[in-house]
Copies of this chain bind each other. A is one copy, B any other.
């Protein structure tokens, strides 16, 4: 038994996000007259990129939403028809200049399940050769951190991007 949509008011539609206000009946009989739904046509993928000694590849990203400029793992939206692994490979190349191989999709989750159906994938892989420069529009620096540095940075709350934090914690746990 899943929640059932009884009516929909379209607030906004775009290739990035749609905003609907739905009337919803839940399996327990409860009816919500105005359930906001942020509908995202495309999922996103984050990449855990390991080198031969187990360090991970990071990119420095400036976020308008949060007013932050922090280290994140390479990540981005899936383009039409792409799998999360294809998207991860492309984003790694664009954001760092590195090829990558041995990709494995390790987890899929809803980052904001209360209001949004956005899907995040975490992909783990090995770094290949560096074949080009990174896209300076999206990224200001790239860097490798060791496992111990990453554990300390989490203790210091250095990561504010949720997808990065969750991907790193999954990697440490695995």
**Chain B min CB distance to A160 (Å):** 5
- Contact of A161 (CB < 8 Å), options: B68, B113, B161, B170: B113
Does the CB pair B172–A137 fall under 8 Å? no
Q: Is A108 an interface residue (CB 8 A)?
A: yes
Q: Is A112 an interface residue (CB 8 A)?
A: yes
Chain A interface residue bracket vs B: 35 or more
- Distance of A117 Cα from B67 Cα, bound (Å): 9
Chain A 100-124 near chain B by CB (<8 Å), digits 1 or 0 = 0000000111111111111010000
Does the CB pair A17–B44 fall under 8 Å? no
- Interface residue SS majority, chain A: mixed
- Contact of A12 (CB < 8 Å), options: B19, B62, B163: B19
* Given A17-B38, A28-B137, A110:B63 Cβ within 8 A: yes
- Distance of A32 Cα from B64 Cα, bound (Å): 10
Contacts of A36 in B (CB 8 A): 14, 16-17
**Chain B min CB distance to A142 (Å):** 15
- Distance of A35 Cα from B36 Cα, bound (Å): 21
- Distance of A44 Cα from B116 Cα, bound (Å): 14
Q: Is A54 an interface residue (CB 8 A)?
A: no
* Given A107-B157, A169-B173, A113:B65 Cβ within 8 A: yes
Q: Which of A3, A77, A108, A140: most chain B CB closer than 10 A? A: A3
